[in-house]
Amino acid sequence: MDGRRYAFRFGALRPLLSLLGMGPSVSSLELTAERLRVRMGWAFRAELPRAAIRSCTPSPGPVGGIGVHGWRGRWLVNGATSGLVELTFEPAQRALVLGVPVKLTFLRVSLADPDALVAELGNR
C-alpha cells in the first residue's frame, strides 16, 4: 500500500465481531493517492476511486447498530458508536455486502482517529 491505513474503532462488541470475522485485524480504511479501500472482514468491501469522494465530515449523531447496515446506497460500517465519519460519493459507487454488489452513495464508518481522515480529505 502506498497510502495511509486508518484503523476502525471498536467498542464493547469487539470480541464478538472478532469471533465473527469482522474484527480489527480484518477491518480498515486505506487511502492512497488514487483509491479508497474499505473493508470489514467478509461482510463489507469497497474499492473506490478517490476522485468520487465528494465530502468527508465528522458524524456526531447516533447510529442504529454495530456491524454492516444499509439500504438504497446509504451504508453504516462500524465497530463502535463513536468516532464516526461520513463520506459521500458521486457518482454512486459499487461495494460488496456479504459478497453481493450494492450501490454506495453515503458511507458512515467508525475510525480510531476520525479527525485524521477528515483533515486529509476535508470537504471537497
**DSSP code string of 91-117:** EEEEEEETTEEEEEEEEEEEBSSHHHH
Judged against a pLDDT cut of 90, whether residue 122 lies above it is answered with no
Task: Give which of 83, 63, 57, 90 is closest to 75, Cα–Cα.
Answer: 63
Instruction: Give mean pLDDT, residues 56-72.
Output: 89
pLDDT for the residue 123: 58
Q: How many domains does the chain have?
A: 1
More confident of the two residues 49 and 2? 49
pLDDT for the residue 61: 76
Confidence of residue 62 (pLDDT cuts 50, 70, 90): confident
pTM, rounded to two decimals: 0.91
Q: How does strand 100-110 pair with strand 84-97?
A: antiparallel
For residue 25, give its domain range: 4-121
Which residues contact residue 49 at a Cβ distance below 8 angstroms, ignoring those fewer than 6 apart? 34, 35, 36, 93
Judged against a pLDDT cut of 90, whether residue 1 lies above it is answered with no
